[in-house]
Amino acid sequence: MSETDGLPPLRAVLEAHGLDPKRALGQNFLLDLNLTGRIARQALPLSGSTVVEIGPGPGGLTRALLSEGAQRLVVVEKDPRCLPALEAISAAYPGRLEIVSADALRTDLAELAGEAASVKVVANLPYNVGTQLLLNWLAVPHWPPVWESLTLMFQREVAERIVAAPGTDPYGRLSVLAGWRTRARILFDVSPQNFTPPPKVTSSIVQLTPIAEPLPGRLETLEKVTAAAFGQRRKMLRQSLKPLGGEALLVRAGIDPQRRAETLSVSEFLTIANSLDT
C-alpha cells in the first residue's frame, strides 16, 4: 500500500510535527504502510467491529486499519505531540476515528467500546507497558471479555513466553494465564530495521482469542500459585509453594510435590489453585 489515503508519507509526518521518538514512551515507529497493512489484515474483517488501537503515534497502523475497513476506530495515545497528526487522519476519514488522549493503563476497554458489544484490539504496543496491558486484558472479572481478539506486537522473547507450552524454557506465569483463557499464537516476526528507531531485538505479532468457556477457577488464586511456583522455578513445588501450603496442598491436589513449575500443564495449575480455594 502506498499513500493512497492522500495523507503525507509518515516520515514527513514525523518531521512536520517534530515527533522525535522518545524512548521513555516506547516509541519505535512503523513507517512502512505495506507492513502496517499486513498487520491490520490479520484482524480482518474490521468493518463490523469497533477497533481499538493503543499507542497510534504518528498513525501508520491507524491509517492501515482505516484503509482496511475499520468503520469505528478508537485510538488511545499518551503523547500529546501526536494529536495533530491523528487529527489530520481523522479529517481524511470523517466520522470514523475517535482520538482518546490518555494513558492506556488507566483506560477500560469496556468504556472505550461504548455501545459496541465487542472490540478488536490491534496495536504496536509500547514495550515498557505491553505486558502489563495484556495482563489487564486477561485479568478481567467476567469472561468472555469485551475483546474478541487481540492482535499485538511484542518483543519476540515476550511473544514466546505468551504462547509457550509446558516443559519449555519460556513457559511461565504469562503462558499459564494466557493459556487458561485464550488461544494464542505467533503470526509473524518483524525485524528491527522495520522500526524508527530500530529496537535491539526482533519483534513478533501475536494474536489471542478468548476461549468461550475456560476451565473453572479463580484468577487471583491462579496468579498467586503461578507467581510462587515460577518465582522459584528450579525448585520442587513442595518448596516453592510452601507459603501456600506446600506438600499438603499438592497432595490434596493430586500433584507430585517433587515436580517443578515448568512441568505442570495449565489444567494442573488450576487444580492446585482450586484445591487452595476449597
By CB under 6 A, name the binding residues for ligand SAM: 25-30, 54-57, 60-61, 76-79, 82, 103-105, 124, 126, 129
- In the complex, what is the shortest distance from the CB of residue 133 to ligand SAM, in angstroms, rounded to a whole number? 8
- In the complex, what is the shortest distance from the CB of residue 86 to ligand SAM, in angstroms, rounded to a whole number? 10
Residue 27 or 240 with smaller CB distance to ligand SAM? 27
Q: HEC states along the chain?
A: CCCCCCCCCHHHHHHHCCCCCCHHHCCCEECCHHHHHHHHHCCCCCCCCEEEEECCCCCHHHHHHHHCCCCEEEEEECCHHHHHHHHHHHHHCCCCEEEEECCHHHCCHHHHHCCCCCEEEEEECCHHHHHHHHHHHHCCCCCCCCEEEEEEEEEHHHHHHHHCCCCCCCCCHHHHHHHHHEEEEEEEEECHHHEECCCCCCEEEEEEEECCCCCCCCHHHHHHHHHHHHHCCCCEHHHHCHHHCHHHHHHHHCCCCCCEHHHCCHHHHHHHHHHHHC
* Position closest to ligand SAM via CB: 55
Residue 72 or 181 with smaller CB distance to ligand SAM? 72
Bond before 198 cis per omega within 30 degrees: no
- In the complex, what is the shortest distance from the CB of residue 25 to ligand SAM, in angstroms, rounded to a whole number? 4
Residue 60 or 145 with smaller CB distance to ligand SAM? 60
Q: Over the range 187-211, which residues count as b (16 or more CB within 10 Å of their CB) and which as e?
A: eeebeeebbbeebeeebbbbbbbbe
Residue 28 or 271 with smaller CB distance to ligand SAM? 28
- In the complex, what is the shortest distance from the CB of residue 56 to ligand SAM, in angstroms, rounded to a whole number? 5
Residue 57 or 179 with smaller CB distance to ligand SAM? 57
Residue 58 or 217 with smaller CB distance to ligand SAM? 58
Residue 26 or 179 with smaller CB distance to ligand SAM? 26
- In the complex, what is the shortest distance from the CB of residue 93 to ligand SAM, in angstroms, rounded to a whole number? 16
Angle at 103 between CA 180 and CA 221, to 5 degrees: 25
Residue 25 or 211 with smaller CB distance to ligand SAM? 25
d(CA 133, CA 21): 21
- In the complex, what is the shortest distance from the CB of residue 82 to ligand SAM, in angstroms, rounded to a whole number? 6
Residue with cell 522455578: 233
- In the complex, what is the shortest distance from the CB of residue 45 to ligand SAM, in angstroms, rounded to a whole number? 21
- In the complex, what is the shortest distance from the CB of residue 59 to ligand SAM, in angstroms, rounded to a whole number? 7
